[in-house]
Structures are given as structure tokens and as C-alpha cells.
Amino acid sequence: MHDEPAGARKEKVCQEQECEEQWSQLEQGVRDCCTTFVYCPFCANEMVTRCSVCGETVSDIDFQFCPWCGVKFDQ
């Protein structure tokens, strides 16, 4: 599998490792809704936004391009 740069998304994720497992068990449809979450529903930590291509944290959700790998975000 290979991510096309054109398909880059800003993903909202929890940085807690323990939550990663819980998140991975959610259906994709549910996970898509989670992009508006501010806090993680599993640990109440603040969610971070990251680039779906390089996985680096994107500090401003209004960015149109990833500041780390240069891909254009769809949204």
C-alpha cells in the first residue's frame, strides 16, 4: 500500500499509546467523525492533528499543506 500525496488528510489522533489500540478497533466511519473531537474519548487527553502521509503533528488545522512533507491536504 502506498499513499498518494494527493490523498493527504489531517488526522486527529490521541498521542497516548494505550489509546491507539482502542482507536484501531473503531470502524472507519466512526473514526471519520472523530476528526472534530477535541479530547480523546478514551483518556480525555487533548487530541493532536497529524499528517496522514508522514505522521508528523500539524500544529495549525488551517494549514493547506503539510509543513513537514509538503503534501496538499484535501480539506
**Which parts of this chain interact with Zn ion (CB under 5 A)?**
14, 16, 19, 40, 42-43, 51, 53-54, 66, 68-69
For residues 62 and 39, give the distance between their C-alpha atoms in angstroms, rounded to a whole number. Answer: 19
**Cβ atoms of residues 22 and 31 within 8 Å:** no
Spatial CB neighbours of 15, under 8 Å, sequence gap ≥ 6: 45, 48
The least distance separating Zn ion from the CB of residue 68, rounded to whole angstroms, comes to: 5
The least distance separating Zn ion from the CB of residue 28, rounded to whole angstroms, comes to: 18
**Is 61 or 69 the residue whose CB approaches Zn ion more closely?**
69
The least distance separating Zn ion from the CB of residue 25, rounded to whole angstroms, comes to: 13
